[in-house]
Amino acid sequence: MEGTDVIGAYLAEELLSEGTSDINAGSEIHVVRPISNVNRNLMFQSNIQELIYKREVVLLVSSISSGMTLKNAMECLSYYGANVVGISALFNSDPKNSDYEINAVFTNEDLPDYKIYNPNDCPLCKEGRELDAIIVENGYLEYRK
Protein backbone atom coordinates (compact mmCIF):
# COMPACT_ATOMS: atom_id res chain seq x y z
CA MET A 1 0.00 0.00 0.00
CA GLU A 2 0.91 3.66 -0.18
CA GLY A 3 3.43 3.37 -2.98
CA THR A 4 5.46 0.54 -1.46
CA ASP A 5 5.24 -1.67 -4.56
CA VAL A 6 8.99 -1.70 -5.25
CA ILE A 7 9.78 -2.45 -1.61
CA GLY A 8 7.12 -5.18 -1.72
CA ALA A 9 8.75 -6.70 -4.78
CA TYR A 10 12.12 -6.68 -3.01
CA LEU A 11 10.56 -8.24 0.10
CA ALA A 12 8.97 -10.96 -2.06
CA GLU A 13 12.31 -11.66 -3.73
CA GLU A 14 14.00 -11.97 -0.33
CA LEU A 15 11.28 -14.29 0.98
CA LEU A 16 11.77 -16.55 -2.04
CA SER A 17 15.56 -16.52 -1.96
CA GLU A 18 17.39 -19.72 -1.22
CA GLY A 19 18.39 -20.19 2.40
CA THR A 20 15.82 -17.72 3.76
CA SER A 21 13.14 -20.29 4.43
CA ASP A 22 12.06 -23.63 3.08
CA ILE A 23 8.44 -22.61 3.63
CA ASN A 24 8.39 -20.51 0.45
CA ALA A 25 10.39 -22.91 -1.74
CA GLY A 26 8.68 -23.38 -5.08
CA SER A 27 6.03 -20.81 -4.21
CA GLU A 28 4.88 -17.68 -5.94
CA ILE A 29 4.47 -14.39 -4.16
CA HIS A 30 2.16 -11.78 -5.66
CA VAL A 31 2.60 -8.10 -4.90
CA VAL A 32 -0.84 -6.51 -5.11
CA ARG A 33 -2.51 -3.44 -3.73
CA PRO A 34 -6.11 -2.45 -3.19
CA ILE A 35 -7.90 0.42 -4.88
CA SER A 36 -10.32 2.90 -3.31
CA ASN A 37 -13.94 3.05 -4.37
CA VAL A 38 -16.06 6.23 -4.50
CA ASN A 39 -16.68 5.94 -0.75
CA ARG A 40 -12.91 5.72 -0.13
CA ASN A 41 -13.25 2.10 0.99
CA LEU A 42 -10.45 -0.25 0.03
CA MET A 43 -11.27 -3.07 -2.36
CA PHE A 44 -9.58 -5.47 -4.74
CA GLN A 45 -10.42 -5.74 -8.41
CA SER A 46 -11.98 -9.05 -9.43
CA ASN A 47 -8.84 -10.31 -11.21
CA ILE A 48 -6.79 -9.77 -8.00
CA GLN A 49 -9.20 -11.32 -5.49
CA GLU A 50 -8.11 -14.89 -6.22
CA LEU A 51 -4.52 -13.93 -5.36
CA ILE A 52 -5.47 -13.16 -1.74
CA TYR A 53 -8.52 -15.34 -0.99
CA LYS A 54 -7.49 -17.94 1.63
CA ARG A 55 -3.84 -16.98 1.14
CA GLU A 56 -1.22 -15.93 3.63
CA VAL A 57 -0.64 -12.19 3.27
CA VAL A 58 2.02 -9.81 4.51
CA LEU A 59 0.66 -6.27 4.71
CA LEU A 60 3.22 -3.58 3.85
CA VAL A 61 2.51 0.10 4.46
CA SER A 62 4.75 3.13 4.32
CA SER A 63 3.78 4.62 7.68
CA ILE A 64 1.46 4.08 10.60
CA SER A 65 0.49 7.21 12.48
CA SER A 66 -3.15 7.30 13.46
CA GLY A 67 -3.80 3.64 12.64
CA MET A 68 -6.69 4.41 10.27
CA THR A 69 -4.95 3.07 7.14
CA LEU A 70 -3.97 -0.08 9.02
CA LYS A 71 -7.53 -0.57 10.30
CA ASN A 72 -9.00 -0.07 6.82
CA ALA A 73 -6.46 -2.43 5.25
CA MET A 74 -7.11 -5.14 7.84
CA GLU A 75 -10.89 -4.84 7.32
CA CYS A 76 -10.41 -5.07 3.56
CA LEU A 77 -8.15 -8.12 3.76
CA SER A 78 -10.54 -9.83 6.18
CA TYR A 79 -13.47 -9.16 3.83
CA TYR A 80 -11.61 -10.80 0.94
CA GLY A 81 -10.65 -13.83 3.03
CA ALA A 82 -6.93 -13.20 3.40
CA ASN A 83 -4.96 -14.63 6.31
CA VAL A 84 -2.68 -11.80 7.46
CA VAL A 85 0.52 -13.41 8.77
CA GLY A 86 2.58 -10.24 9.13
CA ILE A 87 2.45 -6.47 9.08
CA SER A 88 5.43 -4.37 8.06
CA ALA A 89 5.88 -0.61 7.92
CA LEU A 90 8.70 1.70 7.04
CA PHE A 91 7.65 3.94 9.95
CA ASN A 92 5.43 3.21 12.95
CA SER A 93 4.86 6.28 15.10
CA ASP A 94 3.63 4.44 18.19
CA PRO A 95 4.59 0.75 18.27
CA LYS A 96 3.13 0.22 21.75
CA ASN A 97 -0.30 1.49 20.75
CA SER A 98 -1.50 -1.23 18.39
CA ASP A 99 -3.57 -4.38 18.50
CA TYR A 100 -1.13 -5.99 16.06
CA GLU A 101 2.53 -6.90 16.02
CA ILE A 102 4.10 -4.56 13.48
CA ASN A 103 7.61 -4.91 12.12
CA ALA A 104 8.94 -1.43 11.38
CA VAL A 105 12.20 -0.10 10.02
CA PHE A 106 11.81 3.15 12.00
CA THR A 107 9.73 4.09 15.05
CA ASN A 108 9.16 7.22 17.11
CA GLU A 109 12.33 6.33 19.00
CA ASP A 110 14.25 7.04 15.79
CA LEU A 111 12.36 10.34 15.29
CA PRO A 112 11.67 11.54 18.86
CA ASP A 113 10.28 14.92 17.76
CA TYR A 114 7.62 13.36 15.51
CA LYS A 115 4.15 14.24 16.77
CA ILE A 116 0.63 13.66 15.52
CA TYR A 117 -2.37 15.65 16.74
CA ASN A 118 -6.05 15.84 16.08
CA PRO A 119 -6.68 19.22 14.41
CA ASN A 120 -8.66 20.46 17.42
CA ASP A 121 -5.84 19.57 19.83
CA CYS A 122 -2.84 20.74 17.81
CA PRO A 123 -0.72 23.20 19.85
CA LEU A 124 0.87 24.58 16.67
CA CYS A 125 -2.59 25.33 15.24
CA LYS A 126 -3.59 27.04 18.47
CA GLU A 127 -0.45 29.22 18.19
CA GLY A 128 -1.61 30.24 14.71
CA ARG A 129 1.28 28.54 12.93
CA GLU A 130 0.43 27.71 9.34
CA LEU A 131 1.26 24.44 7.62
CA ASP A 132 4.47 24.17 5.64
CA ALA A 133 3.21 21.18 3.67
CA ILE A 134 0.82 18.27 3.83
CA ILE A 135 1.76 14.68 3.05
CA VAL A 136 -0.13 13.06 0.16
CA GLU A 137 0.15 9.61 -1.42
CA ASN A 138 2.95 10.44 -3.82
CA GLY A 139 4.91 12.98 -1.78
CA TYR A 140 3.82 16.28 -0.28
CA LEU A 141 2.17 19.55 -1.24
CA GLU A 142 3.82 22.76 -0.12
CA TYR A 143 1.69 25.61 1.12
CA ARG A 144 2.69 28.92 -0.44
CA LYS A 145 1.45 32.34 0.45
Q: Are 120 and 110 in contact (CB under 8 A)?
A: no
Give, in degrees to the nearest 5, the angle at Cα 17 between 15 and 23.
55
Q: Is residue 101 part of a domain?
A: yes
Q: What are the C-alpha distances in Å from 99 to residues 7, 62, 68, 76, 105? A: 24, 18, 12, 16, 18
Q: Is residue 84 part of a domain?
A: yes
| Average of per-residue pLDDT values in the chain | 84
Q: Is residue 133 part of a domain?
A: no
Residue 21 has pLDDT above 70, yes or no: no
Lowest mean pLDDT segment, chosen from 17-21, 35-39, 57-61? 17-21
Q: Is residue 73 part of a domain?
A: yes
Q: Is residue 72 part of a domain?
A: yes
pLDDT tens digits, one per residue of 43-83: 999 999 999 999 999 999 988 887 888 899 999 999 999 99
Q: Is residue 90 part of a domain?
A: yes
Q: What are the two backbone dihedrals, phi and then psi, of residue 19, each rounded to the nearest 5 degrees?
A: 90, -15
Q: Is residue 126 part of a domain?
A: no
Structural domain range at position 53: 5-113
Residue 26 has pLDDT above 80, yes or no: no
pLDDT tens digits, one per residue of 93-132: 877 777 888 999 998 889 888 877 777 888 988 888 887 8
Q: Is residue 129 part of a domain?
A: no
pLDDT band at residue 84, thresholds of 50, 70 and 90?
Answer: very high
The SS3 of residue 106 is strand
Number of compact structural domains in the chain: 1
